[in-house]
Structure 1
Amino acid sequence: MSNNGNTFLGVLAGTAIGAALGILFAPDKGSATRKRIAEQAESAKESITETTLDIRDKAASTVASKRETLDTQLNNIVSDASHKAEDVISTLETKLADLKAKNKKLQKS
């Protein structure tokens, strides 16, 4: 995202510098220069809007991708925990059955 922010600032700075140089070196009359500046400002506005929308779309795509990855990882963790809990329960049931069998033997003695 930092790279996109730098790109945005670069576009903005380039536009400002271009407009300033256009005013300084304009060989036309004032009205023609103002018209050209207005056109350049409109072009810069469109460029900035396009860059902003592109950054927004990339950010939304990244967030969606990360969310899907997080959801998948969370589901895997829950599934693994469930399997491990089942293994622990099975082991405890086996040990309980062994203890009951030993207890029966002790009660018969």
Structure 2
Amino acid sequence: MNSSKVLLGILGGVAAGAIAGVLLAPASGKKTRKRILKKSKNYAGDFKDKLKDLKDDVMHQFDGHLENAKEIIDKNEKLIAKIEK
């Protein structure tokens, strides 16, 4: 299972649990709506941070693969030049 699916599953579970906890807690409607809004803003910020981390990880891996590809191309070009001589 890839890490992005696990991350999204965990975040979804945490969000669902928090919303259920807020909805089941004894409080007035106005207070409950404020708590839901506050929690959703917190989770939105956390989700944004996690997505940024995921993007950074993917970009880092991509850069590594790109560098490897450039090295392979360079080696092959040198080999072709050597064969052509």
Q: How high is the TM-score relative to the length of structure 1?
A: 0.70
Q: Which residue of 1 aligns with 2:5?
A: 5
Contact 1:8-1:51 within 8 A present in 2 as well = no
SS in 1 for 2:26: coil
Amino acid at match of 2:39: Q
Give the Cα separation in 1 of the matches to 2:3 and 2:56: 15
Instruction: Return the index of the structure with the highest Cα Rg.
Output: 1
Structure 1 stretches of 5 or more lacking a match? 87-109
**Structure 1, 32-41 or 12-21: larger mean CA deviation:** 12-21
Cα RMSD (Å):
1.6
Aligned residues: 85
Gaps of 5+ in 2: none
Letter of the structure 2 residue corresponding to residue 16 of structure 1: A
Task: Spell out, residue by residue over 1:12-41, the C-alpha distance to the aligned partner (whole angstroms, 9 max, x if none).
Answer: 2211222112211x1222111111111000
**1:4 Cα deviation (Å)?**
2.6
Deviation of 1:84 after TM superposition, in Å, equals 2.7
Following superposition, the deviation at residue 58 of structure 1 comes to 1.0
Runs of 4+ residues deviating >6 angstroms = none
The range that moved more, 6-15 or 71-80, is: 6-15
Q: Does residue 24 of structure 2 align to residue 31 of structure 1? A: no
Instruction: Answer whether contact 1:4 1:55 (CA < 8 A) is retained.
Output: yes
Q: TM-score, normalised by structure 2?
A: 0.87
Q: Deviations over 1:67-90 (max 9, x none)?
A: 11101111011112212332xxxx
Within-5 A mapping of 1:1-109: 2-24=2-24, 26-86=25-85
